Structure 1
Amino acid sequence: MSELKTGETIVDFTLYDTKRNEVRLHYLKGKNILLAFHPLAWTKGCARHMKMLEDNYEKLSSMNTVAFGISIDSVPSKKAWAKELGVEKTVFLSDFWPHGEVARMYGMFYEDMGVSKRASILIDEDLKVKFVKVYEDHKLPDINEIFDAIEV
């Protein structure tokens, strides 16, 4: 898919969380949704990224926002990683099979490496793209920039 554009309606997906619950965006209409793509579980940069979401869980919730950490890792791997990190509130989603399908659908997949890019996609209450930013692989998103995008 080509690059996402602000204002367009997001294409829905079905992914599974660490408890094997099905997650679909349309289930969350009426909330802001932050899709936090990260390349791989079990890496330092991705651990810092996901812990940042966990550390800001209450503030995001107070802003009517649900954050998801998405990578191409399998459900069992994401579950073990969440436990290892002590992440209990932020939901991790597995884009394992078909491999990277959602990352590809949103233009957030490195074909040559087989992993997703590090990116933030903010979706508003009406399931429209509100903010999209791709980061250098080793650079963390600026959480304040995300808070500002939610408030706009």
Structure 2
Amino acid sequence: MNELKPGEVISDFTLYDQNLNEVHLHDLKGKKILLAFHPLAWTRGCAKHMQLLEDNFERFQAANALAFGISIDSVHSKKAWARELGIENTLFLADFWPHGQVARMYGMFDEDRGVSQRASIVVGEDMKIRFVKVYETRSLPDIEEIFDALRD
């Protein structure tokens, strides 16, 4: 398990979003990024978590930030789930195969359950980690804490 430390450059990855677009993390240099890990699509708590991101989409834009919901679900599952939730702006990334590779790389994979933990990683425009927090599975991130990290 890797321990992410604020101030370090985040390791790069490439994943697909729910629209089958490739998202290469380090191509986003110049933007702030929230990587919002959640255990599974199609669950009530994760739906609330992703709605929180969607509801704050304009605030993320105003902060020069992109928010990504990441789980071990497939691209097709993420696409159907986004449609079901009415998500139009927030991108969901599929860490499906190799199973949970990005979550594992960041030390966010729950080996006992086979899913990622619920966690927030805030990355600055310089690709340096600003904030990392792992939450209890049933609790939601404090969105104001995330925006504080985006401002720092």
TM > 0.5 fold call: yes
The 4+ residue runs of structure 1 with deviation greater than 2 A are none
* Partner in structure 2 of residue 93 of structure 1: 93
Q: Secondary structure at the match of 2:61?
A: helix
Distance (Å, rounded) in 2 between the aligned partners of 1:135 and 1:111: 16
The size of the alignment, in residue pairs, is 152
Distance (Å, rounded) in 2 between the aligned partners of 1:79 and 1:54: 15
Using the TM superposition, give the Cα deviation of residue 3 of structure 1 relative to its aligned residue in structure 2, in angstroms.
1.2
Unaligned runs of 5+ in 1: none
Q: Secondary structure at the match of 2:138?
A: coil
Distance (Å, rounded) in 2 between the aligned partners of 1:134 and 1:81: 23
Q: How far does the alpha carbon of each residue in 1:70-123 deviate from its partner, in whole angstroms, 9 at most, with x for none?
A: 000000000000000000100000000000000000000001110000000000
Unaligned runs of 5+ in 2: none
**Letter aligned with residue 114 of structure 2:** G
Q: Secondary structure at the match of 2:149?
A: helix
Distance (Å, rounded) in 2 between the aligned partners of 1:2 and 1:146: 22
Q: Which TM-score applies when normalising by structure 1?
A: 0.99
C-alpha root-mean-square deviation of aligned residues, in Å?
A: 0.5
Distance (Å, rounded) in 2 between the aligned partners of 1:151 and 1:78: 29
Q: Which TM-score applies when normalising by structure 2?
A: 0.99
* Partner in structure 2 of residue 73 of structure 1: 73
Q: Write the mapping of 1:1-152 to structure 2, written as runs, cut at 5 A.
A: 1-152=1-152
Distance (Å, rounded) in 2 between the aligned partners of 1:19 and 1:61: 20
Distance (Å, rounded) in 1 between the aligned partners of 2:95 and 2:25: 14
Distance (Å, rounded) in 2 between the aligned partners of 1:5 and 1:131: 8
Distance (Å, rounded) in 2 between the aligned partners of 1:76 and 1:54: 19
**Letter aligned with residue 142 of structure 2:** D
Q: Secondary structure at the match of 1:39?
A: coil
Q: Secondary structure at the match of 1:50?
A: helix
**Letter aligned with residue 16 of structure 1:** Y
Distance (Å, rounded) in 2 between the aligned partners of 1:89 and 1:65: 13
Distance (Å, rounded) in 2 between the aligned partners of 1:52 and 1:121: 15
Using the TM superposition, give the Cα deviation of residue 2 of structure 1 relative to its aligned residue in structure 2, in angstroms.
1.7
The percentage of aligned residue pairs carrying the same residue is 70
